[in-house]
Amino acid sequence: MWLYYNFFQPVMRLAEKTWIREEGQPSRAKRRFDKAATPFDRLCATQAISEELAEQLRALREQTNPRQLRQQINKLIDRIAALLVRFPE
């Protein structure tokens, strides 16, 4: 699952949160999010890893088919669910 989430699942991070207080109204939060990006893309943008390691991970991402990977994950989840039905507590 780490391949799917880190390479293909974009995430929006909270960039700013401000509280709006209007007289006679309850306070509410206004949230502003940054651009959606995958965790791998965010990691590469920070230069926290070497360029050699980043290239290895890029090659792994390009070799991976996200649709096929998601189908494999769903099959495994179904197998786990079937085990729970077979052996109830």
Q: What is the pLDDT of residues 26-57, one digit of tens each?
A: 999 999 999 999 999 999 999 899 999 999 99
Say how far apart CA 46 and CA 25 lie, in whole Å.
Answer: 41
For 56, the domain range is 2-86
Rounded Cα distance, 71 and 21, in Å: 47
Query: Using the 8-state DSSP alphabet, how is residue 23 labeled?
Result: T
Q: Distance (Å, rounded) from C-alpha 51 to C-alpha 57?
A: 10
φ, ψ at 49 (rounded to 5°): -120, 160
Q: Under a CB-based contact definition with an 8 Å cutoff, are residues 69 and 45 in contact? A: no
pTM for this predicted structure: 0.72
User: How many domains does the chain fold into?
Assistant: 1
Mean pLDDT in the chain?
91
